[in-house]
Structure 1
Amino acid sequence: MYFEIEKQAIDAINKALDQYDVEIDRDFKLEFPPNPKLGDLASTIAFALTKKLRTSPPEVAKELVEKIEVPEIFSKVQNFGPYVNFFIDYDKFSKLLLQKVDENYGQLPEYDEKIILEHTSANPNGPLHIGHIRNSIFGDSLARLLKLAGRDVETQYYVNDMGRQIAIIVCGITECGLKIEDYEGEKLDHKIGKLYYDANKAVEEDENLANKVDELIQKYEEGEDEELNAIFEQVVSSCLSGMKETLQRININHDDFVWEGQFIRSGEVDDLVKYIQREGFTREDDVLYIDLTDFNIEKEFVLRRSNGTSLYSTRDLAYHKYKATLGDTVLDILGSDHKLAAKQIKVIFEEIFRQTPPEVIFYEFITLPEGSMSTRRGKFVSVDDLIDEAVKRATDEIKSRNPDLTDDEIAPMAEDIGIGAVRFFIAKLSPEKHLTFKWDEALSFERGCASIQYAHARACKLLKKSGKDISSLTVSDEWSPDEAEQDLIRQIAKFPQVVEDCANKKRVHNITQYAQDLAGSFNKFYKTEQVIGSDVEDTRLILVDRAKITIKNALDILGVSAPEKM
């Protein structure tokens, strides 16, 4: 709805600008004022116009307001200093908005862009740990946001099946007699992580085993030993199955898992290296490499080792070439420690391939405060451990608040709240900022994600208590929304605009703030307004329903469940 009334406001400003005999850039948008008492939409157009008229911005704004013909959906237009502010007529606007909101509210029209978004892509040598989770949660939330904003998005997980870590595991199995099934743990990824630890220790202590690992890498790359290939593939597939369980538990699914080995088997890596050689960009000094010093990158990009095998970086380059054939935009979510590699690939794409390079969003790392999970101190914290701890803490909090609930009633709530707390807390900070995970903030029922989930549950309870079929109700012509209702209407109306703005910036943290603001407006309405039994009961029930839908759709961007009971 804000899109529609914003257009009316912009048209009104443009008609007023037609009355000036000056040229001015009219490609402008409106903003939300920081305080609703200052209006609902604001324009800074006076700043641009004042340069032409050589008058102070407040004087220009005042004169411009006098020239604006106020559209019917607005009650007035007023200047506050240099700003031109529009005030919505809520008697008219509220009825229109409530008619517009349905289950798909926030879904924007199709946008002609196919995005290949790679995220997580952790090595399959053990369980996902806290170092991976920010990548997964940000990447998945961003994919959800972009889809809602009309983009065609495919998510990919790049599977490193040819790396040294996997070869060490295989060496442990083939040379040291280690077996996956002999290790403790319910999940295969945890078993493999323990096997990797033992195998790596053995390799570090025995030079012959270290040489064997190099031999295994070369043999697997050649691909002719079917028995060996099967062992590599079993290790990777087994670990991936456990990692997928973890991801699915936190509401993350990938559209495709692309194994790096396919680029060796298909000959794409060989073709790529030969192309770069033919173009004259390679040098050879024991290894084959690209010298990037002319592009202010001191570290060379190695294409092949001295024994002829490829490197992860070579296969990753082939993977990026492959992704570029699948869509308009290639988008990578990477830790800040990958900045050099990303810069190398960018230069190679621009200077050698003459193609648009992948777009990269870097994130800083996440840590737990010292001692917050003391049972794992000194070791990495797996995502499974983190989620289990969040669910346990949520369970304790629910029990303290609702002692009459049974364990069976608490369990699904605790799962929703615990997972929601982790996802929301990690998503709420811009990825470029370092994040320390704080349990008391994440699981706060007053300030955290649980407070938003609780607002949704409150709305569901109220609608159920009414016993009415909401789809059969109509908005009363006599309804004139008061301050609390206007505030809630205003927040609901912002949602599509917030979706568009966040999608354009490719950031999700403002969605978390919006969800908190929306829940806050709903809770204020819930506490101050009588719904059932009021003179406008049906209308207020419709408003509750539309708020419920918007809260749910905002949480869905973040991969957070919207419980009906809490």
Structure 2
Amino acid sequence: MYRILKKEAVKSLENAIEALGWGISGNIKVEEPPNSDMGDIASSVSFQLAKQLKRSPMEITQEIMDKIEAPEIFSRVESKGPYINFFADYNKFAKLVLESVDDDYGRLESKNTKIILEHTSANPNGPLHIGHIRNSIIGDSLARILRKAGYEVETQYYVNDMGRQIAMIVWGLLNMDYQMDPKGKPDHEIGKLYFNVNEKLRANPELKSEINTILKRYEKGKEKELQELFKTVVEKCIEGIKITSKRLNIEHDAFTWESTFVKNGDVENILKTLEGCIKRNEVPYLDLNEYGIEKELILTRSDGTSLYATRDLAYHLYKSKNFDEIVDVLGSDHKLAVKQLSAVLGMLGGKTPYVIFYEFITLPEGSMSTRRGVFISVDDLMEEAVQRAMKEMETRRPDLNGDEKTLIAEKVGIGAIRYYIARLSPEKHVVFKWNEALSFERGCASIQYSHARACKLLEKAGYRVGDTAPRYEDIADWNLEDPFEIELVKTMSKFSTVIEESAKTRRVHNLAQYAQDLAGAFNKFYKSVPVIDSDKEALRLLLVDKARITIRNCLELMGIDAPVSM
């Protein structure tokens, strides 16, 4: 709804400029001023006009002010130096905002644009670990935001079933006396086998040739039993990864296997199309110097088997043909690979992907490696978070029964992980700190607690949360006077604008910051403004209910549950 203020301000400025007989190139700039004394919307349009009119911004502002008419939603328009400031009529604006907040609040109009968003895509050689989790959370949260912003989004997990790691696991099953525990979580069992094979290879490097042979046989696709063994290994690992992801509130729309693009001939077709550009020494490669890329792109191994890069080209050509936009979430160590990929996609007529690069997340103990068996699995991380949340619940809510505590602890623990990662821009390195993640003062729990407070207040007033709510017809006086009421309405009104901006920039962290701001505005209102038995009880209860919905919807966009009690 804050977009309405901006839209109305722009329209009034356009009318005034037109009445003066001026034109303006580009969009009229309006923004929220740094403090409320300068209004709710401020415009620097006079600076935009100064150059083309060859006049001072102050003179231009004075002439605009002579012609401008304040739209109905504003109480007044004033100038502050060369700036033009619009002040909202909060009674009219509050009614408009509260009437717009329904269960689907924040939904924007359809963009008629199909986006494929690839995220997570961890090699299926073990469980997801903390090094993968940032990819998953950024990707899933962004997909939710883009859908809310009106885009049609399909999320995909690109399954690397043709990598050397899978061939190593298959070799281990064929050559080692190693039994996986049938009762164990399948991705963890695969990870243990992968670690043991690495230990074997470390002791006897000559075994690499046997693994290369297995990979070559698999790619030829002629041995049914070998094909089934590769498939079984990958499916087992993906089964475990899906279980982990579900607990983290993440689901992919599709799992696309790399081998698809070898088996359907797409990789071979790419090599044929590029034939005139390919150079050779021991292996075929592309010289990308003319694209400003010094490192050549190798297309196959010396034995003729395909490489990840070539299969990834085929995958991105598939994306290009079937979607309007491509979004990938990748670690910062993929930057060179993405430059190479984008250059060759251009040669093949494909679309350039928009890539969100993220820095890695670690625990204070240091970095992790699946190969070395040194990692903290996401399963372990979630279990630790929930256990720590349970300890908090036992201290804060000894009155609750065990099942209630368990349910809330699950929501708080998982929410803590998701929010802690979502709140920072992907370019920043993150060291995961428990005391910050599970903070009831600054972390996700503080936002969830605001939602629970709102629910408790409504129930105390006799309303069933989600079923009944204060009615508009019960409100005779829409007059807002308390600054904490006004601040809460203003903050709620910005939800759609934040969604729009997050979708536009392909970033999640500003939504996370907004969630904290929204919870803060509600908490100030809750602590300072009387609600039940006040002379404005109906209006304030309605405000509480709409704040509850906005907080819940905001948390949902980050894949976080909103408890009704904490």
TM-score after normalising by structure 1: 0.95
Moved more, 338-347 or 186-195: 186-195
After superposition, the Cα gap between the structure-2 partners of 1:475 and 1:90, relative to the gap in structure 1 and judged at 3 Å, is farther
- After TM superposition, list the pairs within 5 Å mapping 1:305-454 onto structure 2: 305-350=301-346, 352-370=347-365, 379-454=374-449
- Aligned partners of 1:210 and 1:93: how far apart in 2? 69
Is residue 4 of structure 1 aligned with residue 8 of structure 2? Answer: no
Q: State the 1:177 CA deviation.
A: 2.8
> For residue 230 of structure 1, what is the aligned residue in structure 2?
228
Q: 1:461 aligns with which of 456, 459, 463?
A: 456
Moved more, 295-304 or 116-125: 295-304
Q: State the 1:26 CA deviation.
A: 4.8
- Aligned partners of 2:509 and 2:517: how far apart in 1? 13
After superposition, the Cα gap between the structure-2 partners of 1:216 and 1:439, relative to the gap in structure 1 and judged at 3 Å, is same
- Aligned partners of 1:332 and 1:492: how far apart in 2? 31
Instruction: Spell out, residue by residue over 1:269-324, the C-alpha distance to the aligned partner (whole angstroms, 9 max, x if none).
Output: 111111111xx110121211112123222222111222111111111111111111
Equivalent residue of 1:229, what SS?
helix
- After TM superposition, list the pairs within 5 Å mapping 1:152-167 onto structure 2: 152-167=152-167
Indicate conservation of the 8 Å contact 2:470/2:541, yes or no.
Answer: no
Instruction: Tell me the amino acid that sits aligned with residue 451 of structure 1.
Output: S
After superposition, the Cα gap between the structure-2 partners of 1:57 and 1:369, relative to the gap in structure 1 and judged at 3 Å, is farther
Q: State the 1:434 CA deviation.
A: 1.3
Q: State the 1:398 CA deviation.
A: 1.9
Instruction: Tell me the amino acid that sits aligned with residue 496 of structure 1.
Output: S
Q: State the 1:27 CA deviation.
A: 1.4
- After TM superposition, list the pairs within 5 Å mapping 1:131-146 onto structure 2: 131-146=131-146
- Aligned partners of 1:203 and 1:447: how far apart in 2? 47
> For residue 34 of structure 1, what is the aligned residue in structure 2?
34
Instruction: Tell me the amino acid that sits aligned with residue 223 of structure 1.
Output: G
Q: State the 1:56 CA deviation.
A: 4.0
- Aligned partners of 1:207 and 1:420: how far apart in 2? 44
After superposition, the Cα gap between the structure-2 partners of 1:281 and 1:204, relative to the gap in structure 1 and judged at 3 Å, is same
- Aligned partners of 1:412 and 1:419: how far apart in 2? 11
The answer for unaligned runs of 5 or more in structure 1 is: none
> For residue 119 of structure 1, what is the aligned residue in structure 2?
119
Equivalent residue of 1:117, what SS?
strand
Instruction: Spell out, residue by residue over 1:401-453, the C-alpha distance to the aligned partner (whole angstroms, 9 max, x if none).
Output: 22333332211111111111111110111111111222211111011111110
Instruction: Tell me the amino acid that sits aligned with residue 394 of structure 2.
Output: K
Instruction: Tell me the amino acid that sits aligned with residue 393 of structure 1.
Output: R
> For residue 279 of structure 2, what is the aligned residue in structure 1?
283
- After TM superposition, list the pairs within 5 Å mapping 1:170-249 onto structure 2: 170-181=170-181, 186-249=184-247
Q: State the 1:471 CA deviation.
A: 5.9
Indicate conservation of the 8 Å contact 1:169/1:200, yes or no.
Answer: no
Size of the aligned set, in residue pairs, is 558
- Aligned partners of 1:140 and 1:211: how far apart in 2? 39
> For residue 532 of structure 2, what is the aligned residue in structure 1?
532
Equivalent residue of 2:514, what SS?
helix
> For residue 500 of structure 2, what is the aligned residue in structure 1?
500
> For residue 480 of structure 1, what is the aligned residue in structure 2?
479
Moved more, 31-40 or 247-256: 31-40
After superposition, the Cα gap between the structure-2 partners of 1:53 and 1:299, relative to the gap in structure 1 and judged at 3 Å, is closer
Instruction: Spell out, residue by residue over 1:121-170, the C-alpha distance to the aligned partner (whole angstroms, 9 max, x if none).
Output: 00000011111111100011111110000000000000000100011011
Indicate conservation of the 8 Å contact 1:95/1:475, yes or no.
Answer: no
Seq. identity, % = 53
- After TM superposition, list the pairs within 5 Å mapping 1:38-117 onto structure 2: 38-117=38-117
Instruction: Spell out, residue by residue over 1:73-108, the C-alpha distance to the aligned partner (whole angstroms, 9 max, x if none).
Output: 100111223321111101111112211110011000
- Aligned partners of 2:462 and 2:205: how far apart in 1? 74
Instruction: Tell me the amino acid that sits aligned with residue 500 of structure 2.
Output: E
Equivalent residue of 2:31, what SS?
coil
Q: State the 1:52 CA deviation.
A: 3.6
Equivalent residue of 1:154, what SS?
strand
- Aligned partners of 2:82 and 2:236: how far apart in 1? 63
Equivalent residue of 2:328, what SS?
strand
- Aligned partners of 2:171 and 2:373: how far apart in 1? 27
The answer for unaligned runs of 5 or more in structure 2 is: none
Indicate conservation of the 8 Å contact 2:3/2:494, yes or no.
Answer: no
- Aligned partners of 1:67 and 1:438: how far apart in 2? 56
- Aligned partners of 2:462 and 2:316: how far apart in 1? 55
After superposition, the Cα gap between the structure-2 partners of 1:53 and 1:267, relative to the gap in structure 1 and judged at 3 Å, is closer
- Aligned partners of 1:260 and 1:291: how far apart in 2? 25
- Aligned partners of 1:370 and 1:62: how far apart in 2? 62
Is residue 521 of structure 1 aligned with residue 521 of structure 2? Answer: yes
- Aligned partners of 1:203 and 1:161: how far apart in 2? 20
Indicate conservation of the 8 Å contact 1:475/1:542, yes or no.
Answer: no
Q: State the 1:355 CA deviation.
A: 3.1
Instruction: Tell me the amino acid that sits aligned with residue 223 of structure 2.
Output: D
Equivalent residue of 1:180, what SS?
coil
- Aligned partners of 2:272 and 2:11: how far apart in 1? 57
Q: State the 1:20 CA deviation.
A: 3.2
Indicate conservation of the 8 Å contact 1:168/1:203, yes or no.
Answer: no
Instruction: Spell out, residue by residue over 1:319-364, the C-alpha distance to the aligned partner (whole angstroms, 9 max, x if none).
Output: 11111111011111110100111000111112x1133311211111
Equivalent residue of 1:33, what SS?
coil
- Aligned partners of 2:37 and 2:301: how far apart in 1? 67
After superposition, the Cα gap between the structure-2 partners of 1:57 and 1:533, relative to the gap in structure 1 and judged at 3 Å, is same
- Aligned partners of 1:372 and 1:452: how far apart in 2? 30
- Aligned partners of 2:498 and 2:459: how far apart in 1? 29
Equivalent residue of 1:181, what SS?
coil
Q: State the 1:508 CA deviation.
A: 1.0
Q: 1:292 aligns with which of 281, 288, 306?
A: 288
Q: State the 1:506 CA deviation.
A: 0.8
TM-score after normalising by structure 2: 0.95
- Aligned partners of 1:463 and 1:58: how far apart in 2? 50
Q: State the 1:531 CA deviation.
A: 1.5
Equivalent residue of 1:155, what SS?
strand
Indicate conservation of the 8 Å contact 1:451/1:519, yes or no.
Answer: yes
Indicate conservation of the 8 Å contact 2:6/2:31, yes or no.
Answer: no
- Aligned partners of 2:7 and 2:26: how far apart in 1? 13
Backbone CA RMSD of aligned residues: 1.9
Instruction: Tell me the amino acid that sits aligned with residue 401 of structure 1.
Output: R
Q: State the 1:513 CA deviation.
A: 1.0
Equivalent residue of 1:158, what SS?
strand
- Aligned partners of 2:195 and 2:89: how far apart in 1? 66
